[in-house]
Amino acid sequence: MQIQDKQTVSRVKDAIAKNQNYLLSIQYPDGYWWAELESNVTITAEVVLLHKIWGTDRERPLHKVEAYLRSQQRDHGGWELFYGDGGELSTSVEAYMALKLLGVPETDAAMVKARKFILERGGISKTRIFTKLHLALIGCYSWQGIPSLPPWVMLLPDNFVFNIYEMSSWARSSTVPLLIVIDRKPVFKINPAITLDELYAEGLEQVKYELPSNGDWTDLFITLDKTFKLAETLNLVPFREEGIQAAERWILERQEATGDWGGIIPAMLNSLLALRALDYNPADPIVERGLRAVDNFAIETADTYTVQPCISPVWDTAWAMRALIESGLTPDHPAVVQAGEWLLSKQILDYGDWAIKNKKGKPGAWAFEFDNRFYPDVDDTAVVVMALNQVKLPNEKLKQAAIARAVNWTASMQCQPGGWAAFDLDNNQEWLNLVPYGDLKAMIDPNTADVTARVLEMLGSGNLSIDTRNQERAISYLIREQETEGCWFGRWGVNYIYGTSGVLSALSLIAPEKTQVSIERGAAWLVGCQNSDGGWGETCRSYNDPALKGQGPSTASQTAWAIIGLIAAGQATSKFAKLAMEKGINYLLETQQSDGTWYEADFTGTGFPCHFYLKYHLYQQYFPLLALGRYQAISELW
């Protein structure tokens, strides 16, 4: 079969040029790329609550949040966890709370619709623990229904069977401050005071402030929680104040100079709530820095004010560089050179929380954000190394030294099963996801196929090496993780299309002959789930229901991932799925807009599977560009 006609080849070239021009036009003066990281409305709603609690609400344009929340409410009356999900209860309760805090009366049409939606789904009593916790802070829910967290947990030694470092980095940085908040159980006075009595479906008098029973052995945690609460009532909690003081020190030690904690809004908000519970003054420099850091995550337009859960400049920059170079920009182009030097300046040379369990590793990784020295991650580090390997910098010796440090750090982070996790080593005590407090099922950070694949792709693409036995362990891990259908799970992107693309990209470089059968099965699965319009798409619901693997409306980013995976598989096996790729390329060409961009409404990034999703606004730009660039490169050989 011949490659598509000359007109199509010309269209691919033009599409690449248009998107390259767009990406180059939005590069920041310092050399990085950075675009919005969108989530659901709860992050912004919780920031409204935070400023009400601190009394700093009049110093921010929070009145614009009302317009944002109204724009996100759907016709059914609720607010969504991800685009098109039909509405989600906890998200809707928090949006309703924020609107009421902003002065919107219960009689407002939007509130009437929202209240109906919420009550039909069980009301406040059926919401997640963290929603209830935020309501308890202002007296709209009882602390009796919130799981207790004894402060003495802070005093458990690092080598104890359980300690705070057995929690994932995001759970740890959010939970340590909550040890203080939940111990103090504050009810803050806000102006104006509100109630949410109307959101209890069973009626306020009938509410049972208790943890939900599962009817199995996990109810032991409920019994344990009752014991903790009794100890609190009798003031018999051992080492209570020592634990509080240790948590306070931990929080202060981990605040960045910029005011951030953990690089994520939940950790930042919870740390500020802990300081408020400890009666810190709003004028305290620690508090002022923290509040400014929250401001830095905000996006203000003429009409709206929203807050991102996190920011992704390192991630966006590395991927934009890779896409631009692989689509034809020279490795010494001024734009990618400037970006590469910016990335070099962001390498973290300090020890972070990862070093608690990793006693051998030395610093040399990258984080997701501008500043997050305690929490670099494997995924960002691998992508940055690949980007640096592709760019030609004025000081190549400095670049190679940075890459060597990164590879050594990454090698030291390999987990016992053979794969890599995002932030920590062997952070895999699954029982933590069963505790009542952990109802988001995100308390740990085990190794995953997508992060493991990224490491192996880094090694293969850059001709880099780690211990041969450890590399073989990683390959074996990926083979074991392949699903019966031939695909791989995607922890950090939606979902099996993301995971499969990543693994195919890795295995095709690192072990094509040994894993040929696995590669062919993965490619066949991708071909099998292509949509009739030529694109690929997968709903976030595939995390809840694996029967939905690879199913969903086509998107630019997921189509690009599928094409990238198929190209990798073809290069490894010489069995190119040409027709499927050509249909995918046509989908990208047909959906590209006149300014060279693509648009997708769907969320294709993952925070916590089943519970929290993300839309990276640059995914729909640099991944299609990368796919078109790789397609153009192989088409020249056919």
The DSSP output letter for 574 is: S
Listed residue (480, 549, 477, 482) closest to 520, CA to CA = 482
Phi-psi label, residue 604: left if phi above 0, alpha if psi -120 to 50, beta otherwise: alpha
Listed residue (484, 599, 606, 485) closest to 541, CA to CA = 606
**What interhelical angle do 496-510 and 468-481 show, nearest 10?**
140
Q: Contact 131/81 with Cβ under 8 angstroms?
A: no
Q: Per-residue b/e over 321-352, b at no fewer than 16 CB within 10 Å?
A: bbbbbbbbbeeebebbbbbbbbbbebbbeeeb
Q: Cα separation of 97 and 238, whole Å?
A: 36
Q: Contact 95/134 with Cβ under 8 angstroms?
A: no
> If DSSP codes are grouped into helix, strand and coil, which group holds residue 407?
helix
Q: Identify each DSSP E strand in 120-216 by its residue range.
A: none
Could you say which of 379, 380, 424, 450 is catalytic? 379
Question: Does an H or E element contain 110, and which?
Answer: helix 109-120
CB neighbours of 505 closer than 8 A, spacing ≥ 6? 453, 457, 564, 565, 568
* φ, ψ for residue 19, nearest 5 deg: -75, -35
Residue found under tokens 């180059």 = 24
The DSSP output letter for 348 is: B
For residue 614, list its beta bridge partners. 605
> If DSSP codes are grouped into helix, strand and coil, which group holds residue 427?
strand
Q: Contact 116/77 with Cβ under 8 angstroms?
A: yes
> If DSSP codes are grouped into helix, strand and coil, which group holds residue 605?
strand
Q: Identify each DSSP E strand in 297-448 by its residue range.
A: 298-300, 305-307
Is 379 catalytic? The answer is yes
Burial classification of residue 593, based on how many CB atoms lie within 10 Å of its CB (0-12 exposed, 13-18 middle, 19 or more buried): exposed
Q: Cα separation of 427 and 425, whole Å?
A: 6
The token pair at 265 is: 């809004």
The DSSP output letter for 497 is: H
CB neighbours of 196 closer than 8 A, spacing ≥ 6? 93, 96, 97, 100, 124, 135, 140
* Residue 369 CB coordination number (10 Å): 25
Q: Cα separation of 164 and 171, whole Å?
A: 9
| CA angle 387–372–437, rounded 5-degree value | 115
Q: Cα separation of 434 and 123, whole Å?
A: 23
Q: Per-residue b/e over 358-367, b at no fewer than 16 CB within 10 Å?
A: beebebbbbb
Q: Cα separation of 7 and 167, whole Å?
A: 54
Listed residue (602, 605, 598, 604) closest to 622, CA to CA = 598
* Sign of the C-alpha dihedral computed for residues 9, 13, 16 and 18 taken in this order: negative
| Positions marked catalytic | 379
